[in-house]
Structure 1
């Protein structure tokens, strides 16, 4: 185990240096090619007729527009390369790399398309239609199911523990895990709404997952998590207010997918849900808001997702971010403690 910990710290420092060298190059390219998107209208935060003034006000458009929204390329590119070079490749580690690349690529295409149509109101209206959103969600969910199917074929996860119960990882469970995996990704995307919010939460969460694996003598993914943390620290350096870039799909999607993947591959599902609990609460806030507005024509929150609700109440952006970090730290400690009891 000492060797694993030593290797993990080496991987962390290597990934930090590699990411810090790559980040300025990437940022320069994103600014040069104008990979930015204007803020879009949102009925979740507007008035009855979709007035966008509230959303535009809290997002401080004059200061936010023009900032690249594909900064997650830093995560998408660096993590799989270093995992490939520095970590022993068992079948499930190779699948992890494939998963990271695929979800990052899907996020890249999603943001690239959004940027390409930012000056075309008709196409942007089509993009916001329910059927288009459902199609995008379905494609990503099929991808999740495919990854879970391949993981099940490796045979490294015979059962998934839920407290005193164990559920056999059979083909019948794959669609359920695929849906949960996609929801984990969507939760990560929704959390990526304020400077430093998503990347800080996942930095804490991955550190806690690493601690859970260390305590439970499951060393395989600790070097992988160390690489992710090293890149996340660099990303956070550039993503703290005022952000030099937003992560967008290329960063949020693989981070959300990989945390869920590691939890399944290591059978640490319950600690995972507690550690990442705030992202799921953020997801739930949007779901509640959508359902309430669609069927009851009223808002439960001032604005959704949850972090924007607190902004509307008057909390400064940095206050929301830091308090959400503190909540994540508390949930992570609880998750680590739960893994010890388990």
Structure 2
């Protein structure tokens, strides 16, 4: 029943996104929620200006409905489910406010970094205390070994760093049509399979719900995109992905499953450090997906190669951790 339940979840959330997108996209366009393109970005991106953004609302709605419906129907609604939805909605709300300020109020910077950080920390702390209401493992497993390090009270600091870090990492990666929606769908399926292996059906339902919703959204987000997820979607996905890794107690495996998000973030960090210390840039532009674009790769080629890297990394994890 467990495998069939997750498959039903994936299909259900996929169909919800497919149904919702044609309804929501025209509304976003009517409300003039169009994406603004930064001037210093690749010239080929300027034609994307005005494409509806805040599309994260589409798959977030699908995820919430399918997760709750399937969890309640199969009696799998748990505190962990509530925490996952809290992170998804909470981080998504921060992203929505950021998008709203930039797109509707026409303030290009949106929320400040400090404002976003404070919001993310508050939501993460609430999630931590909800988890602490029951038995909560504060050890950190070393991938592909039986070694686990006890962090004790320091685990809350790790949790904050992990949630905020990966939320922003996914946000940085959201710069090409379909890049995040495709890559993240594979990452969530991978953790869904891990959750099934550990008989954590509640987490598996959520993970497969996210993946299905993203695949449905991808039909409208692939190049040329009819809609962008915006910070509304990317911040929510990053936080939820980090929390899933925490709940299945395979936190560090996320560094491999989410290798694209790690690469994108490291490219930005290295670029900043290099420029501030030497005055020279390592990459033509960061995040690194822009570097490949400016090196002559088409947007579709960059996305396809990055998808392939993410898929291969996830398959390695499944082979070593599950099979």
How high is the TM-score relative to the length of structure 1? 0.87
Who is 1:93 aligned against?
Answer: 81
Distance 1:296 1:186 in 2: 26
1:38 is paired with a residue whose SS is: coil
Who is 1:9 aligned against?
Answer: 7
Distance 2:292 2:27 in 1: 34
2:61 is paired with a residue whose SS is: helix
Q: Is the 8 A contact 1:19 1:234 kept in 2?
A: yes
More off after superposition, 20-29 vs 170-179: 170-179
Q: Could you tell me how far 1:14 is from its partner in structure 2?
A: 1.6
Distance 1:212 1:172 in 2: 25
Distance 1:286 1:230 in 2: 30
Write the mapping of 1:42-191 to structure 2, written as runs, cut at 5 A: 52=40, 55-59=41-45, 61=46, 63-87=47-71, 88-118=76-106, 123-124=107-108, 127=109, 132-162=112-142, 163-168=145-150, 170-191=152-173
Pair 173,165 (structure 1): closer, same or farther in 2 beyond 3 Å: same
Distance 1:234 1:331 in 2: 23
Q: Could you tell me how far 1:110 is from its partner in structure 2?
A: 0.8
Pair 326,137 (structure 1): closer, same or farther in 2 beyond 3 Å: same
Distance 1:92 1:208 in 2: 18
- 5+ residue gaps, structure 2: none
Deviations 1:173-206 (A, max 9, x none): 2022201211100111111100010100011111
Who is 2:17 aligned against?
Answer: 19
Write the mapping of 1:298-337 to structure 2, written as runs, cut at 5 A: 298-337=280-319
More off after superposition, 91-100 vs 21-30: 91-100
Who is 1:196 aligned against?
Answer: 178
More off after superposition, 317-326 vs 140-149: 140-149
Distance 2:271 2:126 in 1: 30
Q: Is the 8 A contact 1:204 1:332 kept in 2?
A: yes
Distance 1:36 1:173 in 2: 40
2:133 is paired with a residue whose SS is: helix
1:339 aligns with 2:313: no
1:267 is paired with a residue whose SS is: coil
Who is 1:38 aligned against?
Answer: 36
- 5+ residue gaps, structure 1: 42-51
Distance 1:94 1:217 in 2: 18
Q: Is the 8 A contact 1:302 1:312 kept in 2?
A: yes
1:160 is paired with a residue whose SS is: strand
More off after superposition, 153-162 vs 307-316: 153-162
1:221 is paired with a residue whose SS is: helix
Q: Could you tell me how far 1:304 is from its partner in structure 2?
A: 0.1
Q: Could you tell me how far 1:278 is from its partner in structure 2?
A: 1.5
Q: Could you tell me how far 1:17 is from its partner in structure 2?
A: 1.9
* RMSD, matched Cα: 2.0
Pair 216,95 (structure 1): closer, same or farther in 2 beyond 3 Å: closer
How high is the TM-score relative to the length of structure 2? 0.91
Q: Is the 8 A contact 1:157 1:266 kept in 2?
A: no
2:253 is paired with a residue whose SS is: helix
Number of residue pairs aligned between Structure 1 and Structure 2: 317
Q: Is the 8 A contact 1:39 1:56 kept in 2?
A: no
Distance 1:4 1:95 in 2: 21
